[in-house]
Chains A and B, each alone.
Chain A
């Protein structure tokens, strides 16, 4: 059976990387100074890392 943590982890890792890359080239949104793409991208990458680590650990066990 497919471990859902793997595809979810890969999806958010790729989306997170896209957001981080975008954050350096795109202008900010109208109502906020914050670099929304960068922060959300980093959170996604961290979340993806947790999912992938957990999946890897249960594979080894």
Chain B
């Protein structure tokens, strides 16, 4: 792919705006709260788009186009099954407890609701995982820029790290959130034309249906049995594993996204944040997945475009960038690359701003220096931002050197995350759940995840204890690991809670269903109320699934 000067002009213009936003916001950062939690005064349209954009990293954009080419429209399950229902749940049911508890982070909520050790476990694992995922995506992106544009690996890593550092150091969470919204606009405006052009060239949706196998253009028709679809998953694993355990575990408990909603200026706005975000989330598959499906159709029809080859098959990861090279002239090519760079940088900024909050409040204030001045914590927050970015960069180089270790770590992170939602569900809706129960439940859930992986095999992976079952795909294996981990955590937490002394009601006020006054929204117009908003989203969601049945 060849860039001309105008493409670089657009990229540099974007960098200038991003840093300019941080510069303009620097004066409003006067306390640790402003820096780390945006002081609870960000307008709801901004928190909503940031809620969505924080998850829309460059790996997601490139990866979804790749999955579109590999699995077809079934990929939309990652949005319609694997995200939107969980977003409705957190907005309607969970946000009153998060926002109402006045906790500054998700681990801090766990401390209030359960105990210190549960908070410590969550805070430390979250902090480590955030840094690693930031570094891993940095590595993936620098490698891609190297492959597609010939950019030097070191320069990409250092330049993007420096820019993210500049704007998060200056403006803190507010700056990160503002730039996530700018990135979201850029993704939509930068990739919608690609979707329109590539689908039109492939003969429209009808033309693609004719040219591709039936299974590529139907989301539900072939999930009855794992053999029938290229993902190798069946309906129960898909709905329970992806749609319930993994999706609710991410969207309802991951501090990276929850932090965006908690930055909203009122309880009502915090609840509406994920609900409003669900509208654009539902439509994202048309922008990020359809180009991938079109790439496959174009390859099959001998249009002059072909997916690049790799080791006897297609190199799906290059679907997006090769399409851009064919459909975008200079100018739009710059916009598309800027959008990729932007989504990558804001993904990193999201990780760093979540990391510095958890480190400052949950680790430093929690265990190292509890009673310092706010000014001191502001300094710690700023220093942590610098350290966080340096550690991400170090991780990116580690990933470049030791690919196997990174794969292993990601596997372990999966084990840690899988049971989380059971802990939150019980914590918020069952007042009898205790700290000991939650802690032991989480550890058992993680152990169950590891055990499931050790006893089953998929695509040659796993079964390091003995092989009891073979899954048709790694995706199916992941879904089932999540199901076992979640169920184990749920059962063990209940059992241990019943065997240990209950927390007194006085300690649980504002934290648990039944002991919390739920916010009333009477007299507010319907589109400002969470429940009617959620119903509109749900109806639209069913409609979309029916169209692509």
Q: Main secondary structure on chain B at its contact with chain A?
A: helix
Residues of B within 8 A of A (CB): 4, 6, 9-10, 13-14, 17, 20-21, 24-25, 28, 41, 46, 178, 181-182, 185, 189, 193, 197, 201, 303-305, 325-332, 335
Number of A-B contacts (CB under 8 A): 94
Q: CB-CB < 8 A to A40: which residues of B?
A: 189, 193, 332, 335
CA distance A56 to B430 in the complex (A): 48
What would 5 more interface pairs be, CB under 8 Å, given A8-B182, A19-B332, A31-B327?
Answer: A18-B331, A22-B329, A31-B304, A31-B326, A32-B327
Q: CB-CB < 8 A to B10: which residues of A?
A: 15, 18
Given A19-B331, A40-B332, A31–B305 Cβ distance below 8 Å? yes
- Whether B178 contacts A29 by the Cβ 8 Å rule is no
A residues 1-21 in Cβ contact with B at 8 Å: 1-2, 4, 7-8, 10-12, 14-15, 18-19
Q: CB-CB < 8 A to A2: which residues of B?
A: 21, 24-25, 28, 178
Q: Is A36 part of the contact surface with B, judged by Cβ < 8 Å?
A: yes
CA distance A15 to B186 in the complex (A): 10
Residues of A within 8 A of B (CB): 1-2, 4, 7-8, 10-12, 14-15, 18-19, 22-23, 26-32, 34, 36-37, 39-41, 43-44, 47
Q: How far is the CB of B323 from chain A (nearest CB, A)?
A: 8
Given A2-B25, A7-B20, A44-B189, A32–B197 Cβ distance below 8 Å? yes
Q: How far is the CB of B260 from chain A (nearest CB, A)?
A: 14
CA distance A18 to B17 in the complex (A): 15
- Whether B201 contacts A22 by the Cβ 8 Å rule is no
CA distance A30 to B329 in the complex (A): 8
CA distance A4 to B178 in the complex (A): 7
CA distance A27 to B17 in the complex (A): 28
Q: CB-CB < 8 A to B185: which residues of A?
A: 8, 12, 47
Jot down 7 A-B pairs with beta carbons below 8 A, ordered by A.
Answer: A4-B46, A4-B182, A8-B181, A26-B329, A26-B330, A29-B328, A31-B201
Q: Which one, A1, A11, A41, contacts B13 given CB within 8 A?
A: A11
- Whether A36 contacts B327 by the Cβ 8 Å rule is yes
Q: How far is the CB of B228 from chain A (nearest CB, A)?
A: 33
Q: Which one, B13, B189, B201, contacts A32 given CB within 8 A?
A: B201
The 4 A-B residue pairs with the shortest CB-CB distance, nearest first, are: A22-B331, A37-B331, A31-B326, A29-B329
Centre residue among A18, A27, A41 by max chain B CB count within 10 A: A18
Centre residue among B13, B24, B326, B332 by max chain A CB count within 10 A: B332
